[in-house]
A and B are shown apart, each in its own frame.
Chain A
Amino acid sequence: MESALFSGLQGLFLGIANLSLGQVIMILVGSALLYLGIKKGYEPLLLVPIGFGAILVNIPLAEMMEKDGFLRFFYDTGVLTEVFPLLIFIGIGAMTDFQPLLENPKIILLGAAGQFGIFLTLLLALAVGFDKLDAVAVAIIGACDGPTAIYVSSKFAPHLLGAISVAAYSYMSLVPLIQPPIMRLLTTDRERKIVMGLVRQPVSKTTKILFPIVVTIFASILAPKGAPLIGTVMLGNLMKESGVVDRLKSASENEIANIVTLLLGLCIGATMEADRFLRAQTLLILGLGFVAISLDTAVGVLFGKLMCFLTGGKINPLIGAAGISAFPMSARVVQVEGQKYNKKNYLLMHAMSANAGGQIGSVIAAAVMLSVLQGMGIIGG
């Protein structure tokens, strides 16, 4: 009886006995993510489940990511199969209004320039020693688009998924802090004061319905490996614009998006096991992610300057910063920054066009990247 009592009591202390320093640190990291999400309001929809998942997976002996574990099941069925990010994309498409872009289509080019940070960061990642596919996954943080980063990293570097996702979502929420100094550094006072006229070109409903269909067919044929990314965003948008499947649209942007966001967040957190996450490589990924988003902003603004020059000063280069995918946060940053220099300047609608271009641009950039990788024989056909 005594030994049975002793063994039973011992069982209660097994967790403490097996708790490593790394796990303690990761539980603190998870708690810090919870703090950022709850107290500071940084991407709470993602950081709360991610933070909690990070805590759960670092509880000793709980074995949640072992075979048949609770989190392993969702990770294998939703993340490794890439289903979760794609379901999120349908919701994003259903929530996105591309009208500002359709009103002013030439601005879409800023959405391309805003992705150049991805490719420049790829070179940096290779330079610091990441292997080819790991470098691709790290560089995609520059898409400034969480689901795209998760899609690409779960495909090619699932061991880096936790660090890449945390970097992607953290920097997206820090866009209002990261972008303004770069915008000021690269523009002159005169450029920042440029007033852009009001562009109001109403768009027909037919155009809005045809847009997602045309984009899907055209872009997917050019970059077939990216068809799942492009197709899901555009399916969501088609449901929104057609107006005939309100129930599906509503489910995509509410119930499905919410459930998948919760499970995806938990799964990302579940990849943050101490022995995988506490490496110098994680710090490198966080650093490169910051560089990627800074480069996106810089190239976007520089391209804005080029458009300003080519149009005889009609385009305010600040809107180039909105060519990234952080929608609509980046457009708001441009509006606030523009008004600091000219109170009568309303850049918001122009920046929204660039921002919508950035949303498409990030998906297209990832699709192009996947197709080029396929063409080079780096990934299978």
Chain B
Amino acid sequence: MDTWTFGWTLALIGMGGTMLVLWILSLLILLIKKLFPYRPEEPAAKKG
């Protein structure tokens, strides 16, 4: 594989892949929050 094919392939899949993985992660976080919502009687979440 020549250098530029390598570079562009890695750059495009890398950027797209990173964006896709993080987007799916954001959906998973929303799903977990829906399944396990915060209940007021829980001790307030600590801020670090």
Contact = CB atoms under 8 A, between A and B. Distances in A.
Given A365-B18, A376-B6, A211 B29 contact: yes
User: Mostly helix, strand, loop or mixed at chain B's interface?
Assistant: helix
Nearest to B5: A376
A202 B1 CA distance: 50
Interface residues of A, number: 50
B27 to A, nearest CB: 8
A106 B26 contact: yes
Interface of B: 1, 3-4, 6-15, 17-19, 21-30, 32-33, 36-39, 42, 44-48
A290 B19 CA distance: 23
A357 interface: yes
B10 A204 contact: no
Contacts of B22: 108-109, 111-112, 357, 360-361, 364
Given A105-B26, A368-B14, A372-B13, A211 B32 contact: yes
Given A105-B29, A109-B26, A202-B45, A119 B39 contact: no
Nearest to A209: B36
Contact of B38 (A105, A106, A204, A219): A204
B17 to A, nearest CB: 4
Contact of A119 (B6, B14, B32, B37): B14
A66 to B, nearest CB: 35
A210 B18 contact: no
